[in-house]
Amino acid sequence: MGRQFTVQRGATRVVFGAGASADVAAEIDRLGARRALFVCTPRREESAKALAARVGPERAAVVAIAREHVPADVVSEARAAVEAAKADLVVALGGGSAIGLAKALALGAAVRVAAIPTTYSGSEVTAVYGITEAGKKTTGKDERVRPALVVYDPDLTAGLPRDATIASLWNAMAHAAEALWVPAIERADRLAALGAEEALRILAESAARLASRIDDAAARESALEGAYLAGAAFSDVGGGLHHRLCHVLGGAFGAPHAETHAVLLPHVARFYREAPRAAAIARALFALDPSRGLFALARATSAPSSLAAIGVPKDGVARVVDEVLASPPPSPRPLDRDALVDLLERAWSGPKARGAPPPLRAPPPLRAPPSIATHAGLFGPHQSEALAGALPAAQNAPRRAPYGLYPELLSGTPFTVKSAESSRVWMYRVRPSFAHGAFASLPRGLFGAELGDASPTRARWRPLPIPEAPAEVDFLDGLVTLGGAGDPSSGGPGYAVHLYAANAGMRDRAFADADGDLLLVPQHGALDCRTELGWLRVPPGSIAIIPRGLKVAVGAPDGAARGWVLEVLGRRLRLPERGPIGSNGLADARHFLAPAAAFEDRLCPDGFQIVHKLGGRLYAATQEHSPFDVVAWHGNHAPFSYDLALFNAMGSVSWDHPDPSILTVLTAPLDDHGRSIADFVVFPGRWEVTEHSFRPPFMHRNSASEINVVIETPAAGHGYDAGCTFLSPLLTAHGVATHTYDQIFARPGDAPDPPHRIPDASLWAMFESALPFRATAWAAASPLVDRDFLRHFEGARSYFDPSRR
């Protein structure tokens, strides 16, 4: 059985559940109504008659004349029917048109309203009415029109055709989204904001599911519940610019209501990208950028994409703007003429609008070529040309560079650092990289979320679920910040650990992190990294370094990708000093691979999005060409990949366990005293040969925050599954589980210690920092937090016996 609930929400009794409409007669009795007039559109007449028959011919009549936008003459005709039927209740069966007619009747006569919605318009839970007369739709709010009863029966929505379903779901999503950006949300209780965010999440998911399978009954049920929640939140806080635009367009040009919502919503979301609660919209859509998330959903649901296509004349834009500005709706940002004209012109043209950032036409998928050329050696310096002679031979910035290319210098370190630390690259590109539109800040979402307090409590997180079709989540949208330390707004030092899960490549979108270097650690599915300097392929078991400021687009060639990202603020990642180990062992600089130059000379009239991270915040700008147009480059500020199987592990060959620092692959030093902002440490397959020793690491408290990750394991157990992450905070005691201690203590002290091979199919890694780990709110409250983790360390027995040494 699906969802069933009954609730009295203010003046409205809400009955929800498949088959609920069968009890309509009992519900009408419960209201104490004597005679009911069912109103519907002509297409719903038969269904209305069937329901009226359940109530009884002497107590129910039907009038099937409802039309969209509630024309005044239809209201007059229906009013006559109310009088003829001596009705004291008008029951609307259908969408917003039928409900709108019932509401209009309640305004002028002593009748109450009941609604049995068959679309997702949400009108049934609002006290908002609208009537159209002489090309002008007048809307208002009046408690008399609020339905006393709403019966939600998902079975009744099964026949709603695909296009009407999708458009109506956009109407519902608009209620949720608008509720989140109207200023009144700041004065409402938290229920409205929580309900709106949850509604948007449910609606977006149902819309994607119904777009791929229209007869998905479970998706229909969630869609109807989402529409209810969205309508309720909207009813609590009222409408704003988006609804005003839709109503003006409907009244002036007869633009179909639900379709108008679908066209406008991503554009209005772009307009309100910096509204205080835009992050909630982004979260609900699993997107960094709410507008881009909505454009992607519009594409996935094949929603109408231009006002032109739904019959709005181009010269109508000015008229709409005049009408809106004559009595401006409440808005979190000023409504100026130019901005509104720009918004409507983009919506009118649809995806072809000049500079429209997120295209509705799918851009080409991100795919690396089958074979990728590389240059061996960490930090080179390297030089690379995709066209022979593209690198200027004698100087870096000749007046005219070969092939008419633009030289550009990217300095990854300040100019005057020690030359051993200097990191920079000269690029020779087809178009200048400053040729993009203005940056707009993106809402603070899960990626880049603020850090909370450091806690000494150990924690473990289950693997981040990989998104499933029809949802399309790319690497960037799939990033979630777990925690870290330091302040990116002051340049660090610090670090952040992020998780990612994606099922799609970044399409016409690149990311550059001005805050720090990125270390990508895939656990599931390879990553194809297209960087300005060329391609890198990074399968699980290998890592990639993306230096600060360099643009990258990440593809998921296996259709599913999950892993971790370490972000280092303030210092660069480099190989550790080997000290007494000498000059060999651990990671070898020659095994790090830089990409060979590979470019595309491609215009992107639908817009290429650049997402830029600076001072801990994310910003987006749009440009009309691919940024991956570097034909040749030279320098050391390059991305690198590294196969962890090439790591030469070191260890004890006598007794006792060495510190994990002996397995450091890369480090970012904090100072000259051996403290690190972050080390990347790997525990690969290797021999374990110590004798008369406690072979797993003994219990310890380290001057380090340790964020451990399981990349691969031959024997998942006790929750240490591949993809999980666990934290041992700075100086908190930790070690192996109680039962492992018991097993080891049960062995005789002189039991033989044969060499033991830790299999190659075991690959654990660790991000280790001398700084505390401050978790984000998401990390603290996520459903992925493994509540059973600490139980593994309970119940330790005392083996102390003063009589036995």
Distance of alpha carbon 376 from alpha carbon 373, whole angstroms: 10
Minimum CB–partner distance for residue 198 and ligand NAD (Å): 19
Which of 95, 293 has the CB closer to ligand NAD? Answer: 95
Site string for ligand NAD, 156-195 (x = CB under 6 A): xx-xx---x---x--x------------------------
312: its two tokens? 């709005």
Judge if the upstream peptide bond of residue 407 is cis by omega within 30 degrees of 0: no
Q: Is 183 exposed, middle or buried (0-12, 13-18, 19+ CB in 10 A)?
A: middle
Which of 162, 213 has the CB closer to ligand NAD? Answer: 162
> Where do the DSSP E strands lie in 253-405?
374-376, 382-385
DSSP state of 252: H
Catalytic residue among 243, 524, 657, 700: 657
The verdict on 122 binding ligand NAD (CB under 6 A) reads yes
Minimum CB–partner distance for residue 599 and ligand NAD (Å): 48
Terminal alpha carbon distance of the chain: 65
The verdict on 242 binding ligand NAD (CB under 6 A) reads no
Of 30, 43, 86, 367, the residue at the interface with ligand NAD (CB under 6 A) is: 43
The verdict on 68 binding ligand NAD (CB under 6 A) reads yes
Which of 41, 626 has the CB closer to ligand NAD? Answer: 41
Of 119, 260, 301, 423, the residue at the interface with ligand NAD (CB under 6 A) is: 119
Site string for ligand NAD, 246-285 (x = CB under 6 A): -----------xx---------------------------
Of 13, 35, 44, 625, the residue at the interface with ligand NAD (CB under 6 A) is: 44
Cα angle: 186, vertex 188, 192; to 5 degrees: 105
Q: Spell out the long-range contacts of 737-742 with Cβ–Cβ below 8 A and sequence spacing 24 or more.
A: 737/792, 737/793, 738/792, 738/793, 738/794, 738/795, 738/796, 739/792, 740/696, 741/796, 742/797
The verdict on 128 binding ligand NAD (CB under 6 A) reads yes
Minimum CB–partner distance for residue 258 and ligand NAD (Å): 4
Question: Which of 770, 678, 675, 680 shows the shortest CA–CA distance to 730?
Answer: 770
Q: Which stretch binds ligand NAD (CB under 6 A): 39-47, 426-434, 669-677, 743-751?
A: 39-47
Of 17, 39, 78, 100, the residue at the interface with ligand NAD (CB under 6 A) is: 100
Which of 39, 681 has the CB closer to ligand NAD? Answer: 39
E strand or H helix that includes residue 8: strand 5-9
Minimum CB–partner distance for residue 94 and ligand NAD (Å): 5
Which of 13, 175 has the CB closer to ligand NAD? Answer: 175
Which of 20, 730 has the CB closer to ligand NAD? Answer: 20
**Looking up tokens 């009226």, which residue turns up?**
52
Distance of alpha carbon 44 from alpha carbon 50, whole angstroms: 10
Q: How many chain residues bind ligand NAD (CB under 6 A)? A: 30
Q: How far is CA 411 from CA 349, 546, 596, in A?
A: 40, 14, 19
Minimum CB–partner distance for residue 97 and ligand NAD (Å): 3
Question: Which of 6, 8, 10 shows the shortest CA–CA distance to 236?
Answer: 10
Minimum CB–partner distance for residue 36 and ligand NAD (Å): 19
Distance of alpha carbon 51 from alpha carbon 45, whole angstroms: 10
Is 261 an annotated catalytic residue? no
Q: What's the 3-state SS for 714-772?
A: CCCCCCCCCCCEEEECCCCCECCCHHHHHHHHHCCCCCCCCCEEECCCCEEEEEEECCC
Minimum CB–partner distance for residue 237 and ligand NAD (Å): 13
Residues with a known catalytic role? 657
- Interface contacts to ligand NAD, rule CB under 6 A: 41, 43-44, 68-70, 94-98, 100, 118-119, 121-123, 126, 128-130, 156-157, 159-160, 164, 168, 171, 257-258
